[in-house]
Amino acid sequence: MDSISHIVLGAAIGEAVLGKKIGRKAMLWGAIADTIPDFDVFAESCNTHAQQLMVHRGITHSFLFVVIIAPILGWLLHKGLNKTGVSWKSCTWLFFWGLLSHIVIDAMTCYGTGWFEPFSSYRVSFNTIFVADPFYTIPLLICVLIALIAKNASAKRVKWNITGLIISSIYLVFTMLNKWHINGKMKESIAKQNIDITEFVTTPTPLNNFLWMSYAKDSCGFWFGYYSVFDEANDIAFFHVDQKKELLSAYQNEPSVKLLKQFSKNYYCMNKINNDVYFNDIRFGQIGGWDKPTDAFVFSFKLNKDADNSMALDRSKFKGSYSDAISSLVTRIKGK
């Protein structure tokens, strides 16, 4: 998830665990706890652009990291708060729930989270929520801000903090049930159109949980389709994108290609523009693909030697203004 979501969720958890004992400081420490796993970004300068993809959400997003780091940070916080009488156990619980909530909610996005590092490099991704979803973050943010303003240990403070956690948790459950509903609609439409596939995945489009993208693999590439919960018709217009594996032949021995395949879980397609060859991770979708099936993919990694891929995963590639892109997205969400 985005940084704001982690900070707000961490603050709410901090308040729930230690708010009655240390007041507003609990929100600060909770926000810090929920942000710590993303400190892996500071290791990016030590790795190639391809390696950075696997470093992020790697070991710092594992269960092992949570179990080891929580008591250490808990002990340090306990020492810093020794005059308040807060126990090491209570401080450890704050960091444990903060760190754990971070890696759990990250796994609900499509990026992939290394829960089992360093024992397995498998990346967990449930594809139930977009990395930034205002329908999740804003209600929680409002409740946490109201709780922050209220007096320490007051009933109002506790009430609003718990309300925020309940609302955000209910929304996460909604995204899971919504995915189940969308899967049924997508599979039904694929079957009606006699599309022969071997794999099938659904994932929400940017900033919402109402318009979903599906990609279904066949022997030559992938079938893409978009469906909104507000669509009146159940017939989904699927379009096909060839995988074009042959474009990888000249790069098969490149270390970056092995990492890209691992990162994308083999959900990729290739394309060539002039003399530049691109590896596209299709899990992140196309830029406005709900409107124009020919639009570029969000994740495009250039395989040419010495290429700059610092912005390979770039959501700013919209052709035109952001307002036009958002307008297009909202229109499609409405089922039009």
Q: Are 122 and 46 in contact (CB under 8 A)?
A: no
Residue 58: its pLDDT value, please? 96
In a domain, 185, yes or no: no
Please tell me which residue, 44 or 99, carries the higher pLDDT value.
Answer: 99
| Residue 284 to residue 218: CA distance in whole angstroms | 19
One domain, residues 238 and 316: yes
One domain, residues 136 and 215: no
Q: Which of 122, 142, 175 is where one domain is finished?
A: 175
**Residues 21-40: what's their mean pLDDT?**
96
Residue with tokens 């190639």: 48
**Residues 167-195: what's their mean pLDDT?**
96
One domain, residues 294 and 324: yes
| Residue 327 to residue 55: CA distance in whole angstroms | 35
In a domain, 180, yes or no: no
**Residues 190-200: what's their mean pLDDT?**
94
Condensed to tens digits (0 to 9), the pLDDT of residues 210-232 reads: 999 999 999 999 999 999 999 98
Residue 306: its pLDDT value, please? 80
In a domain, 277, yes or no: yes
When pLDDT is cut at 50, 70 and 90, the band that residue 317 belongs to is low
One domain, residues 91 and 154: yes
Asked if pLDDT for residue 316 goes beyond 70, the answer is no
Closest listed residue to residue 18, CA positions, set 75, 68, 92:
92
Query: Total domain count for the chain?
Result: 2
Condensed to tens digits (0 to 9), the pLDDT of residues 63-95 reads: 999 999 999 999 999 999 877 889 999 999 999
One domain, residues 161 and 293: no
- The range of the structural domain enclosing residue 99 comes to 3-175
| Residue 163 to residue 275: CA distance in whole angstroms | 55
Terminal CA-CA length for the chain: 28
In a domain, 188, yes or no: no
One domain, residues 99 and 214: no
When pLDDT is cut at 50, 70 and 90, the band that residue 314 belongs to is low
Helices (H) and strands (E) in the chain, counts: 9, 7
Residue 324: its pLDDT value, please? 78
When pLDDT is cut at 50, 70 and 90, the band that residue 304 belongs to is confident
**Residues 41-50: what's their mean pLDDT?**
87
One domain, residues 294 and 255: yes
Mean of per-residue pLDDT scores for the chain: 93
Residue 46: its pLDDT value, please? 85
When pLDDT is cut at 50, 70 and 90, the band that residue 321 belongs to is low
* Helix residue ranges per DSSP H, the chain: 3-22, 25-35, 49-55, 63-80, 88-106, 134-149, 155-192, 255-264, 322-333
| Residue 180 to residue 178: CA distance in whole angstroms | 5
Query: How many C-beta neighbours within 10 Å does residue 218 have?
Result: 14
Asked if pLDDT for residue 315 goes beyond 60, the answer is no
Condensed to tens digits (0 to 9), the pLDDT of residues 266-301 reads: 999 999 998 899 999 999 999 888 988 888 899 999
pTM summary value = 0.94
Burial 175-212 (b: 16+ CB within 10 A, else e): beebbeebeebbeebbeeeeeebeeebbbbbbbbbbbb
| Residue 86 to residue 278: CA distance in whole angstroms | 54
Asked if pLDDT for residue 45 goes beyond 90, the answer is no
Closest listed residue to residue 230, CA positions, set 284, 315, 283, 290:
290
Query: How many C-beta neighbours within 10 Å does residue 54 have?
Result: 18
Contacts 24+ apart (CB under 8 A), 212-215: 212/179, 212/182, 212/186, 213/285, 213/289, 213/290, 214/182, 214/186, 215/267, 215/282, 215/283
Q: Which of 127, 148, 175 is where one domain is finished?
A: 175
One domain, residues 212 and 159: no
In a domain, 318, yes or no: yes
When pLDDT is cut at 50, 70 and 90, the band that residue 153 belongs to is confident
One domain, residues 289 and 256: yes
Residue 151: its pLDDT value, please? 92
In a domain, 184, yes or no: no
In a domain, 182, yes or no: no
**Residues 31-52: what's their mean pLDDT?**
92
Residue 311: its pLDDT value, please? 80
One domain, residues 151 and 205: no
One domain, residues 277 and 165: no
One domain, residues 167 and 203: no
In a domain, 183, yes or no: no
